[in-house]
Structure 1
Amino acid sequence: MSFKQDCKQLLKPYYLFNIFLSLSYIICRRTPGVCNYLFAVEECEFDGRETEILFFLVIVIMIRSRKTGSVTMINYLSSSFIYTKVANLILWFYADFIMGIIYAITFILMGLLLPEPAYSGPDNVIYFRGANSLEEELARDKRVVWFVAFYTVWNPACVNFAPIFAKLSTDFGMENLKFGKVDVGRYPDAGKNYRVNDSSLSKQLPTIVIFKEGKEVDRRPLIDSKGKVTKFLFSDENIKAAFDLKNLYDNCKSELKKRKNHPKSD
């Protein structure tokens, strides 16, 4: 998304409340009057332990944002919210047990009432309801090449990837090159059948699998012989390069043209 679109996205309640929760301790701790009342101190300065926690938080956010492939302001915020809120939870408990309880309740309620907004822009994606639905479609016409993304709605990397996958589907989707998605959180049978771990600690979310003639031919991220997941950055350019998407598109377009020119050969 552009910077203007990012700013517009920030006005949504999910981002406003999470930014507030992420900055709540720093704001209260550094604001004269509020600081003196809540923390019963004369100087509104961080002590050594608070500084250590905040410094560690910055390092964790930088590392995790890089691993999740965050490339825009919204991506960075989405991938960092959980860490900033946990750090705030620790800081509030460190300062006062009651304030920690209040923050924890607010944290949980906001997570239940304000889930992260899902991508709602244009796409050319078919959503499958479990492994059977996908298998039936793969078997229906084996001339179709399928790009299928396995994801969950709660995973930040999957949320960040949604607009990228949507754009790829509108740019490259055609009659014999189709894009699909399966929510392995909602349909765990699909995750099990296609070897996609849907746990909260999974390094396989999202996963893209390419099917040709009804069979898997490639996927990202890859899994080595020892079962270790190979790191993959889900950016637009990386996906195009990893799957040679431009050549695949050209080949599918050529095949489609041949079929239309020689319909009796189908």
Structure 2
Amino acid sequence: MGTNHPLPWLNLMVAEPFYLFHFLTFFSYFIVRSSATQALSSQFSDRLLHREIQAILAFLVLTVVKLVKEETWEAFIADTLFFAKGFLMAVALIMDYHLALCYMVGFLVIFVLTQQPAYHELGNASQLTPLQLETLLTEGNTSRFWLVEFRALCSSRCIRTSRFMSDLSITYSNKNFSFGTVDLGHFPNAAEKFGISLGVSMGQLPTYILFDNAVEVSRFPEVDYEAKASTPTIRKNLLCRHFELDRRLIDYVSGR
């Protein structure tokens, strides 16, 4: 997972409606469970407790696995909430299917009304409009190379990878190599200009394009125009290899 310490970021989560509503929904189960204890038979209570323990243990195992595998806290939190919803629905269904239906409706409302926040720190990357990007690419006094992430923060995939450019820019930016992000959610008309489809089924968000003196030399994911884009899992080390960031940094340091 990313090296950034999560605690400051977790403090901000309290003020985010997405996380606050999820917390209140999960916490409500304890209230319902406590209220229903006296109405349930001892045999049913023992069976329910057994299922709750199983759900908690399975949830903890999956959480540990995701903690090791995920590169960002945004992706880890998204997966953790997904598993928590599944286990809560399963346990609620054992208690009463009406309760499970209420939670299903509640999570649907949260999905419609709120959105998981993206990582906001830019590192050494620049947040650009399409016009600013075009100006920077065509000016002769800027960096030779620009690696630009085109994203739309209405996409959960973009949110999960939203800290990659910040981390990469801190490690690899120099006078010869700059990083930037363009939010196509704010500028959808620019998507066609850069050959990016905003359709979810096409899997082209986020798209990373490397420009060399204003000319596109590489992009990820690569697009087969006779089919839809390939959609491999985006990881920082994959981006490093694809755009040869280590080699380019060595070339810059050695003066080549």
What TM-score do you get using the length of structure 2 for normalisation? 0.69
Cα distance, 1:208 vs structure 2: 0.7
Matched AA of 1:139: T
Q: 1:33 aligns with which of 20, 32, 35?
A: 35
Cα distance, 1:85 vs structure 2: 5.0
Instruction: Report the secondary structure of 1:196's partner residue.
Output: coil
Cα distance, 1:245 vs structure 2: 0.5
Shift in alpha-carbon separation, 1:199–1:90, aligned structure 2, 3 A: farther
What fraction of aligned residue pairs are identical, expressed as a percent? 19
Shift in alpha-carbon separation, 1:197–1:225, aligned structure 2, 3 A: closer
Where in structure 2 are there 5+ consecutive unaligned residues? Answer: none
Measured in 1, the distance between the counterparts of 2:3 and 2:239 equals: 23
Q: CA RMSD in A?
A: 4.2
CA contact (8 A) 1:70 1:160 kept: no
User: Map of 1:151-230 to 2, 5 A cutoff?
Assistant: 151-230=151-230
Measured in 2, the distance between the counterparts of 1:160 and 1:247 equals: 27
Matched AA of 2:36: V
Say which is worse superposed, 115-124 or 4-13, in terms of deviation. Answer: 4-13
Residue 96 of structure 1 corresponds to 98
Shift in alpha-carbon separation, 1:108–1:33, aligned structure 2, 3 A: closer
CA contact (8 A) 1:145 1:213 kept: yes
Mapped pair 1:21 → 2:25: yes
Output one character per residue of 1:134-178: Cα deviation in whole Å (capped at 9) or x when no partner. Answer: 223212238621100011123233223222210211221122211
Residue 44 of structure 2 corresponds to 43
Instruction: Report the secondary structure of 2:44's partner residue.
Output: coil
Cα distance, 1:253 vs structure 2: 4.9
Residue 244 of structure 1 corresponds to 244
Measured in 2, the distance between the counterparts of 1:199 and 1:82 equals: 23
CA contact (8 A) 1:157 1:205 kept: yes
Say which is worse superposed, 152-161 or 178-187, in terms of deviation. Answer: 152-161
Shift in alpha-carbon separation, 1:4–1:172, aligned structure 2, 3 A: closer
CA contact (8 A) 1:222 1:229 kept: yes
Shift in alpha-carbon separation, 1:90–1:108, aligned structure 2, 3 A: farther
Cα distance, 1:127 vs structure 2: 1.7
CA contact (8 A) 1:152 1:183 kept: yes
Instruction: Report the secondary structure of 2:241's partner residue.
Output: helix
Residue 137 of structure 1 corresponds to 136
Instruction: Report the secondary structure of 1:78's partner residue.
Output: helix
Cα distance, 1:209 vs structure 2: 0.6
- Matched positions, count: 237
Shift in alpha-carbon separation, 1:193–1:24, aligned structure 2, 3 A: farther
Mapped pair 1:234 → 2:238: no
CA contact (8 A) 1:70 1:79 kept: no
Matched AA of 1:160: R
Matched AA of 2:204: Q
Shift in alpha-carbon separation, 1:134–1:7, aligned structure 2, 3 A: closer
Measured in 1, the distance between the counterparts of 2:82 and 2:191 equals: 25
Mapped pair 1:108 → 2:132: no
